[in-house]
Structure 1
């Protein structure tokens, strides 16, 4: 026994000496103040995925020092894109060290850091340059268990065009996994209607301009596909001025930084339900949420949950400041657009077996007789009559601009709940709403006769015409940097279904486009000044989702044809593939893209250029 104890003592002593000689490992028990983690450099431990939702991020802890003048470089793979940034004091203090963003998945990343550390005891300042090697796990995503889902990661990206001016771009993609049996079990019944059954697992990620995934969200810590109050479709992502991401899903709206540090994650205020599509961040810190009424008593006495037709303004603490009840402001029974829509694609409720079919006025009227309510195409509160898919606050006149897919109209509404203007075809608008419809004009100010349904618009009738309205559009965003006073520039994504309030002779005749309008709010006129997408025809037709948005940092226009390339079997009503979205970015005024990236086998919602400088350097 004595011999064995002596050998054990020698072994322990030798391990301790080895541990003292090699500071990269220090393991022990309750032996007083002691480093008890793997250490690479002269700072503290490296923590990968520090908040549990961003696996391609890390923090190199400060090791007890005060840090300043910190810069980071993620060394690229051969031929890859370098990500480099400085780190603000705010981020150093918030994360207790150096935040690392842009790691490659399933890879031993090389990360160069430069910093000045200040000793808390002597106040001595020492500047260091170190290299850390950080391994990350492979990308993981839940699957729907369906035959058309072929991609086990996120997507494959093909870089078709890249102007050197844009080679430093990072693109945030807000996509979804197709419906699964796990997430299709919930239906609201009290009161009737609602949209919670619209439930898809998130697929959010950032790619660089070589097509590599450099960040993705692993949402399970904040998301549960089987829970009423933790599920839904994650949508409305925006990078706020403070660099953080705001978004919503189901019955929640939230804000996090890119490492996963939470600002808030809240239930919708009690009077509202069913967030989707849009969460606009205003300059004063307020948010404008596209939701619906949790309980509306209709004129006929029926109680319903409404569908995508209420805008709610909340302050940073979550208090409700105001609401825009669109069923009171607009005409929820205007069905001129509704009866022209393709029933195969009502936003993400895509049904190939209904492709090309429309609903008659008689069928719409029968919904009231049958008491059918919910996320169904139909007129009147309690049905999907408006389908608002974007909200943009305009501080110049304290108004909101909305995009209503099922009215094929973009509408500006004041704080007094009065409609200021409507950009859309004239048919069906009545009274004061009819007076608010903008008059199309050409570049010289001459009026354009588009006809009541927009069927005479030169841009609709002629391939190279100069004006057309938007049809089932997504996004209506004011371009603040170009607008001044009564002159307002507006960008939109024209999905193109029901163009001219009719279905074309052949589905292959449909197209989508990006478009920019110049609106004279005093004279109530609108001029189309730029468009792109029509020349690509049906190849980029995106029946639902998508975005057009101006980017001030490069004076450019970004677009995402998010559901282009979807293939159907019109005989069986089955999907043959997921979409193959196309991402483009244009210099202002140019007619050919500076960036074109095609993705494969992923259903897109929206996307935008992501700024690592805004996220970590400010």
Structure 2
């Protein structure tokens, strides 16, 4: 039998190129040697086909334990280091490598025990350039550049998942559900999902063309609602399906929604019970007038780990789908991601919203079958087995119990009637004194003052309970207050608009609400995000993590004319203060920012 090439020769080869391990003839039974590199097996790039900046060093049949991986920093970059549990080694059949720089020869240091013997070695792995869907015209690059505008070394090793969308690409198609009528499937944009480190370098991306197919009804729709589970996996939805994959790209499940539901978008999360909450719509809803419709973004469904329905909340039966005061105040040029420059600054009238005039489907209007609610987040509160909703088109944050009762409403009192009016929280100041917000309740003292003052949220996103700060009947809630329709009106000038990250304390016993923190008002129009975005408490650093995802889109006409640029801001803000400890700005992009979230790498590779 011929001798194998020496390990010293193999050690000098690039793993991404020609792995020149020798093969022996082996006779009729075929080769009887192993194609490997260094002391164990071959290196496989993108082993699960959907995450090109990952690799797998195969175990070659050895028992590998105590594995540690470090992807070395390039110049001015940062190392990514993580331990790999023995179970994860068995799961992947070797050592998972995560966080490779694209279009770069990466130096990867690994240490492990091979059949109990300690080994340390270094690989050089070339990862290819980023390959994602492009428009072919009017586009300078696929993903935006991240620039650090407020640096802080303690955040350099952080990983942030970015989720953007684009409506201008030729595979961003529009489809209408025709039976019965309505629905929101036409909301079908090209999706971009990637991760950057705290130095702004791209270290992972999802090959979205493996998920989206404009010619397949079940593979259309926006990829949205990304979240990390307790054991480190990624979950998200895409119109008619829900997904769970690990960070290496291994599929755990990909399921169609149960037949009662359609048109997932915005939010999916794992509860503390191990179930999943998804914001969906009804596939066949009978209105009181006898019409059957597909509804729009107004149903919450809870599923178990096998995709079985546990419970549902039909919000059109719980809230008032005919409350129109906020719908009449919306800027029709930026109704969430349905951006229409021809309607910038315009508001609707009652006839536009009423049943005899408004079309069915993904349009602002009253009644089930139209976008009266536009719920963009659902957050589980284990303390009383309830859900907290951000109801964007009502400018309302609402808590609903398991028995489908409204517990409280954080919103202007304007337009709420009957029993719902009794659920509206009363604002108080720091001394517990009631705040008089006038006859309408929409304009509280100081709500537009640079010095602060109580205000509600307007067309907000991501209403999340801050579990670490909540106690007893005092519930802390973080929200991104986008700011459109502030005070139930449009301002005289578009550049008077602003957004805020804000935190409230809801006293569920006394039915009051106190604003305890806000950020962003002083940054004005530059920081204003008319749609999307997120505010979420980050317990790792005791900060508020904020992503103003569509900063620069406020002047819709200027943006569509190419005279304005999207420049989203990502911040880590010291809790309870105005101190920005870290800020990253995204430039050179024609994609629309949706959300971002911190990712825990060790949780992904250390869990069983």
**TM-score, scaled to structure 2:** 0.94
After superposition, the Cα gap between the structure-2 partners of 1:250 and 1:166, relative to the gap in structure 1 and judged at 3 Å, is same
Aligned to 1:529: 516
Aligned to 2:453: 466
Aligned to 1:95: 92
User: Is 2:114 the counterpart of 1:114?
Assistant: no
Q: In the TM superposition, what whole-angstrom CA distance separates every residue of 1:85-114 from its partner, at most 9, and x where no partner exists? A: 111122111101111111000111100000
SS at match of 1:460: coil
Q: In the TM superposition, what whole-angstrom CA distance separates every residue of 1:516-560 from its partner, at most 9, and x where no partner exists? A: 001111001111111100010000110100000011111111000
Aligned to 2:36: 39
Q: In the TM superposition, what whole-angstrom CA distance separates every residue of 1:417-469 from its partner, at most 9, and x where no partner exists? A: 00000000000111111000001001110001123544431342422232100
1:191 CA displacement: 1.2
CA contact (8 A) 2:482 2:500 kept: yes
Aligned to 1:490: 477
Task: Supply the distance in 1 between the matched residues of 2:542 and 2:560 (Cα, whole angstroms).
Answer: 43
Task: Supply the distance in 1 between the matched residues of 2:434 and 2:473 (Cα, whole angstroms).
Answer: 19
User: Is 2:362 the counterpart of 1:375?
Assistant: yes
Task: Supply the distance in 1 between the matched residues of 2:23 and 2:75 (Cα, whole angstroms).
Answer: 36
1:375 CA displacement: 0.1
Aligned to 1:150: 140
User: Is 2:141 the counterpart of 1:141?
Assistant: no
Task: Supply the distance in 1 between the matched residues of 2:465 and 2:145 (Cα, whole angstroms).
Answer: 32
Aligned to 1:231: 220
Q: In the TM superposition, what whole-angstrom CA distance separates every residue of 1:589-617 from its partner, at most 9, and x where no partner exists? A: 22121111100113210001111111112
Aligned to 2:101: 104
SS at match of 1:369: coil
- The match for 2:585 among 569, 579, 598 is 598
Task: Supply the distance in 2 between the matched residues of 1:343 and 1:567 (Cα, whole angstroms).
Answer: 12
Q: In the TM superposition, what whole-angstrom CA distance separates every residue of 1:480-538 from its partner, at most 9, and x where no partner exists? A: 11111101000000000000000000000000110000111100111111110001000
CA contact (8 A) 1:352 1:575 kept: no
Task: Supply the distance in 2 between the matched residues of 1:170 and 1:519 (Cα, whole angstroms).
Answer: 32
Task: Supply the distance in 1 between the matched residues of 2:253 and 2:89 (Cα, whole angstroms).
Answer: 20
SS at match of 2:447: helix
Task: Supply the distance in 2 between the matched residues of 1:507 and 1:27 (Cα, whole angstroms).
Answer: 70
1:78 CA displacement: 1.6
1:38 CA displacement: 4.9
1:165 CA displacement: 2.5
SS at match of 1:195: coil
1:144 CA displacement: 3.0
**TM-score, scaled to structure 1:** 0.93
Task: Supply the distance in 1 between the matched residues of 2:565 and 2:440 (Cα, whole angstroms).
Answer: 33
1:180 CA displacement: 2.3
1:567 CA displacement: 7.1
Structure with max Cα Rg: 1
SS at match of 2:125: strand
Aligned to 1:335: 324
After superposition, the Cα gap between the structure-2 partners of 1:103 and 1:38, relative to the gap in structure 1 and judged at 3 Å, is farther
Task: Supply the distance in 2 between the matched residues of 1:531 and 1:329 (Cα, whole angstroms).
Answer: 30
- The match for 1:553 among 540, 544, 549 is 540
1:27 CA displacement: 4.0
Task: Supply the distance in 2 between the matched residues of 1:552 and 1:160 (Cα, whole angstroms).
Answer: 23
SS at match of 1:181: coil
Alignment of 1:18-417 (within 5 A): 19=5, 24-27=20-23, 31=27, 32=29, 34=31, 38-118=35-115, 125-147=116-138, 149-151=139-141, 153-365=142-354, 368-370=355-357, 372-417=359-404
Q: In the TM superposition, what whole-angstrom CA distance separates every residue of 1:260-286 from its partner, at most 9, and x where no partner exists? A: 111111001100000000002101210
CA contact (8 A) 1:453 1:501 kept: no
Task: Supply the distance in 2 between the matched residues of 1:577 and 1:27 (Cα, whole angstroms).
Answer: 59
CA contact (8 A) 1:426 1:452 kept: no
After superposition, the Cα gap between the structure-2 partners of 1:568 and 1:436, relative to the gap in structure 1 and judged at 3 Å, is closer
1:37 CA displacement: 6.5
Task: Supply the distance in 1 between the matched residues of 2:34 and 2:564 (Cα, whole angstroms).
Answer: 47
Task: Supply the distance in 1 between the matched residues of 2:254 and 2:459 (Cα, whole angstroms).
Answer: 31
CA contact (8 A) 2:42 2:58 kept: yes
1:223 CA displacement: 2.4
CA contact (8 A) 1:578 1:603 kept: no
Task: Supply the distance in 2 between the matched residues of 1:512 and 1:583 (Cα, whole angstroms).
Answer: 14
CA contact (8 A) 1:449 1:456 kept: no
After superposition, the Cα gap between the structure-2 partners of 1:476 and 1:571, relative to the gap in structure 1 and judged at 3 Å, is closer
Task: Supply the distance in 1 between the matched residues of 2:123 and 2:384 (Cα, whole angstroms).
Answer: 51
SS at match of 1:527: strand
CA contact (8 A) 1:182 1:226 kept: no
After superposition, the Cα gap between the structure-2 partners of 1:237 and 1:569, relative to the gap in structure 1 and judged at 3 Å, is closer
Q: In the TM superposition, what whole-angstrom CA distance separates every residue of 1:191-247 from its partner, at most 9, and x where no partner exists? A: 111111111111111111211100000122232133210121011000111000000
Aligned to 1:585: 572
Task: Supply the distance in 1 between the matched residues of 2:460 and 2:6 (Cα, whole angstroms).
Answer: 66
Q: In the TM superposition, what whole-angstrom CA distance separates every residue of 1:166-205 from its partner, at most 9, and x where no partner exists? A: 2221111011233323232422111111111111111111
After superposition, the Cα gap between the structure-2 partners of 1:545 and 1:36, relative to the gap in structure 1 and judged at 3 Å, is farther
SS at match of 1:450: coil
Q: Give the root-mean-square deviation of aligned CA atoms.
A: 1.9
Aligned to 2:489: 502
> How many residues are treated as equivalent by the alignment?
594
1:35 CA displacement: 6.2
172-181 vs 204-213, which deviates more? 172-181
Aligned to 1:122: none
